[in-house]
Amino acid sequence: MQRRILGRTGISVSEFALGTMMLGEWGNSDHDDAIRLVHDALDAGVNLVDTADMYSGGESERIIGKALKGRRDEVVLATKGFFPMGGDPNQGGSSRRWITRAVEDSLRRLDTDRIDLYQVHRPDHHTDLDETLSVLSDLVRAGKIMAIGSSDFPAERIVEAQWVARERNHIAFHTEQPPYSVFVRGIERSVLPTAQKYGMGVLTWSPLNSGWLTGRYRRGTEIELNDFRRMIAHKFDLGLPGNQRKLAAVEELARVADDAGLSMTHLALAFAASHPAVSSVILGPRTTGQLADVLGAADVRLDDDVLDRIDAVVAPGTDLNPSDIDYTPPALAKPELRRRAPKQRPTQPSSSSGEAA
């Protein structure tokens, strides 16, 4: 397993990382089997393990905590916070109040004394970045966090965070974690160049586009919605034009993979790892068999001819299905933010008294 330096942190990370969203109730609820999966990944040379407090309501972090007993020092441990962890509106977001508690909760579930990389899971437009970076900087100085990052931040938010850190003497985000695959290439337009400009490490997720790039879904194949797929049903709804475009692209990519002597899975993973901005590609296996398959891509390097053919199927900077993008800026999600309020007509004086104006 090759290593890369995570931005300017000096931390050496494996080219492929273990993502653990599928460990726990959302995927593999057998803790012993999930721990074996983690150990298999470490034995294969993976040293970066990524999780989040909200994965299976904290169960994923607890599994990781058990799996790293005796092996904690060989792992770069990353987790994330932002999404609600309870019914109280203050149990989520990026405020000082919540991040302080969320980090303590993650440390307890992970059974560790420090988090190597703590990431803000999504932009929080209710909290000033000064507030968020202030508390994260304090936690770094306290030794509870080693580095900080963002996830799914648009380029303009990344730039703003860098500016706030500089102006307010905070620690700046060291990393960004966006989705990236052959089918989701929008970040090539500005997010990846912006991360490179600021020397940020990039950890990409969903390199197989929720299974589409394994070749599992082909024309004439019925897509069964299990519990997990129902959570992201828009990514599989064949009534959406974007998903029809993915069906057509899969057929073309299958020919590219065959000509290169690769499985579609290995083609897709090698593509995600080929961008010079990418530090590590996060894999999300549910079983040890799936892990063994995806780790086979570690030895694959795509030449320019193959990459050119991929570009011909899905143009650089293109998201085939806009519904695959999990973050929508408020300016797009809320109509009232892009519509000028109608001008109120002046109220006419009442003439109910019968007096002449």
Q: Which residues are catalytic?
A: 55
Bridge partners, 79 (sequence order) = 118
Give the span between the Cα atoms of 151 and 158, in whole angstroms.
10
Backbone angles phi, psi at 62, to 5 degrees: -65, -40
Q: Which residues contact 9 (CB under 8 A, 6 or more apart)?
A: 147, 174, 175, 201
Q: Which amino acid is at 103?
A: V
Report DSSP letters for 124-167, one per residue. -TTS-HHHHHHHHHHHHHTTSBS-EEEES--HHHHHHHHHHHHH
Which of 98, 104, 64 shows the shortest CA–CA distance to 82?
Answer: 98
- For 354, the token pair is 């019968």
Output DSSP code: residue 27. S
Alpha-helical (H) ranges within 44-128 are 59-67, 96-110
